[in-house]
Amino acid sequence: MSRTTESPASLQRSEAVARKALLDLSSYDVTLDLAADEATFGSTTVLRFRSGAGQTFLDLKPQRLHTVRLDGRPLETDLLARGRFPLDLGAGEHELVVEATMGFRNDGEGLHRSVDPADGRHYVYAMMFMDAAPSVFACFDQPDLKASYTLHVRAPHDWTVVANAPGSRVEAGTWEFEPSAPLSTYFVSLVAGPWHVLETEHDGIPLGLSSRASLAADLDKDAEELFTLTRQSFDELHRLFGMRYPFVKYHQAFVPEFNAGAMENPGCVTFRDPLVFTSRVTRALRVQRATTVAHEMAHQWFGDLVTPAWWDDLWLNESFAEYMGNRVTADATEYAEAWAEMAYARRQWGLVADQGPTTHPVAGNGAVDATAALQDFDGISYAKGSAILRQLAATLGDDTFFAGVRDHFERHRFDNATAADLFGSWERAGAGDLSTFAGPWLQTAGPDTLSFDRAAGLVRRTQPSVSGAEADRPHRLRVAVADRDGLWSDHELEITAAETPFALPADVADDAPVVVDPYLDTWAVTVPDTATVRALVDLLPAVDDPELRAGIWSSVRSALHNALVVPADVLDLVVASLPVEDTEDSARRTMAWVYGWVLPLQADPAAASARVHDAALARLAELRAGSEEQLAAFRVAVATAPAPRLQGWLEGRDLPDGVPLDLDLRWRVLRRLAAHGAVDEAGLDEQLAVDPTQVATVAHAGARASLPSVEAKAWAWQRFTGEVSVPNYELEAVGLGFWQGSQTELTTPYVGRYFDELSGTAAVRSGWTLGDAAEVFFPRTSLDAATLARAEALADDPGLDVTLRRRLVEATDTLRRKLAALGRSTGPVS
């Protein structure tokens, strides 16, 4: 028996190429014993394959390795090192049998085991992406070594088990599954536990939904909408792709503590279960869920049926799924506003990434190994790639665009492909030579910057310091101009040079506001000039075109990101036209940007917060009771409220009509009370005891980290260093709660500790969670040159883990840009 504790090696591209040339896989037969104990599970893998003569290695990350047998011959288990077991193969057919004990995880990767705080029940699900499969079963872990999988699962008697292929319980606690279609290792899926399961069918395809038992009533409430979205998306994808769904059944499992939004495992997609709504949500979040459903369904063709040969073509998965998810949602479901929502939810994610020091091309990003590739699952691979595909589809027309897509599917069905393969399919379909398109748009990093100069017209500026090379990108777009009465007109332009003449219409003032590319026709950073920013304070409140409003906010955000606007002017715009049309306030959306960028950059952040609070109260008085905009405005009011008003709301006093204090709003209030020091640890514990759901447990962790006490900060820091291990959602909530701008006396000592102790976190966590913890615990409230210098010095350390360096470099760039914006004292650069 062998035990391994070494840090696993990351698969190099050169190693993957050599192994692919040597091996031809046939099948995996995997037996998992999930009933043995709560910390570990048994894993037996029978792997059949053909090989040439040569040396290679098996990927395996066990807690204990019991036996390895090659063609019936036992091998020394002590040969396992850094997640690799060496193999010396002769030419011919082989059978490899591996028996091991694996560990359940709580970081959202591998085989994740979660305990529902609402009822104490245990749930397990697999997340094999990107290199976690070897922590579940022995495998050759790379995307271009596909094989069929047959699963056998032993589980507690009250559990249900779902996997990629159809299966059934053959006796109490024993589940058998049919052989799957050929899959890459990272698509193998398994969800096991006392799930609440719903089933139906559409067009001959069995459909399923599942969630934790404690969410049963909420899943039942949303089931018809989810099944309807699934049916509509299947019909539209069948129409566009001209090829039926290529797998046997389609199950959508909502699982706890999931790192991504969802994972496209063929036949058994996993989603983060906050998408089963337990409190009232905004329409924007429903749009997000709808586009996520359609995104994962598009992946069943782009990614699952045809899989990139290596991670440098991950955009073939994500850019296409992003484009198709938005397009299908907008065209085939009730959520026709999907593209406007994308502008709020995803556009800036991609633009910020593309302007930063870690920018990379959409296609052929040069990923040398799996760990490096994981860093490029970012806004470039999703939002930028999607925007460029939308441009390409508009240029080619649907007939040619989808003819090429269909050719791609047919040529590489259940196989792997490259970007060159896809371009070849489009060219065969009549697209012509695409090299002039692919070079500047897909294979060159960095965006153009487009601005309006009242003397020169439209100005296009490349950023060679970011992109590494200037690219000649033509832009077809619209420009919106407002007249003296506040009426907007659109003007189409094609930009092919550094300067493109554009004269204002005769009936508008010389200082009329001009918004470049408000409808996001192209991919570029657009920034408003001085006159436009000044005019928008009066004009933006009356703009009712949702796409125009979204485009304006995107432009203003880009201006602040590049220190081309005075932060105080942006605050004036926020106060004048609180962006409650962007009804969701999470992640990268407008209000999260206001809290993270606009308020901290003011001369008096507390006074600025009070102005936003007053604006939110004023909007509440104007909005229809029960509307989503009212809910959004109330969330803003909570996020900026003084403690006495928060306490009144918590006690049910002075709540606006139409805004009941449900679970989500109650914990929003509690988190802000905690940051004010107006509730203590015991009070938070009492509130958690009232309704100990997972949502409340995570919110409680964030609230406790927000408390202005030495004890609370020490408690939180133990979770950052890994001294205390907590599930991934709680870890993220603690990091987000830790840094409060009003608590610098308490948090200043931790600025230095972050840089001193960050590298050590690579010893206690890995993958997604390693990077997420580095990001959320970065000292974002320490806006000074000394912090920037510490960050730059650590980022230059060649010994720093690659995942930590990536997140640190990005956080450092954000800090550098905030300091530049703080230094602005005049209007925007014209």
Distance CA 261, CA 285 (A): 12
The three-class DSSP label of residue 18 is helix
Report angle CA 458, 464, 469 to the nearest 5 degrees.
Answer: 110
- 512 touches 483 (CB < 8 A): yes
How far is C-alpha 642 from the geometric centre of its chain's CA atoms? 32
- 326 touches 293 (CB < 8 A): no
Distance CA 293, CA 583 (A): 20
Distances (CA, A) of 824 to 150, 477, 754, 815, 820: 62, 30, 28, 15, 7
Helix, strand, coil share of the chain (percent; to 5): 45, 20, 35
Give the helix/strand (H/E) hosting 54. Answer: strand 54-59
Contacts by 481-484 with C-beta closer than 8 Å and gap 24+? 481/505, 481/508, 481/512, 481/513, 481/514, 481/515, 482/508, 482/512, 482/513, 482/535, 482/539, 483/507, 483/508, 483/509, 483/512, 484/508, 484/509, 484/512
Structure tokens at 568: 């105080």
Distances (CA, A) of 262 to 192, 293, 581: 17, 8, 26
- 121 touches 98 (CB < 8 A): no
b/e 818-829 (16+ beta carbons within 10 angstroms → b): bbebbebeeebe
Dihedral over Cα of 46, 51, 53, 54: its sign = negative
- Helix axes 283-299 and 315-332, enclosed angle (nearest 10): 130
Distance CA 716, CA 97 (A): 44
- 426 touches 396 (CB < 8 A): yes
Distance CA 355, CA 782 (A): 23
Q: Which of 99, 109, 296, 810 is catalytic?
A: 296
Dihedral over Cα of 318, 321, 323, 325: its sign = negative
User: CA nearest 517: which of 387, 410, 345?
Assistant: 387
Does 296 participate in catalysis according to the annotation?
yes
User: CA nearest 752: which of 728, 725, 804, 717?
Assistant: 717
- 313 touches 613 (CB < 8 A): no
How would DSSP label each residue in 60-80? ---SEEEEEEETTEEE-GGG-
Structure tokens at 296: 């994962």
Return the residue matching tokens 């300091």: 819
Residues 6+ apart with CB under 8 A from 334: none
DSSP state for residue 635 in the 8-state scheme: H
Give the amino acid at 43. Answer: S
Distance CA 496, CA 459 (A): 10
- 584 touches 285 (CB < 8 A): yes
Distance CA 454, CA 258 (A): 49
How far is C-alpha 795 from the geometric centre of its chain's CA atoms? 23
- Catalytic residue numbers read 296
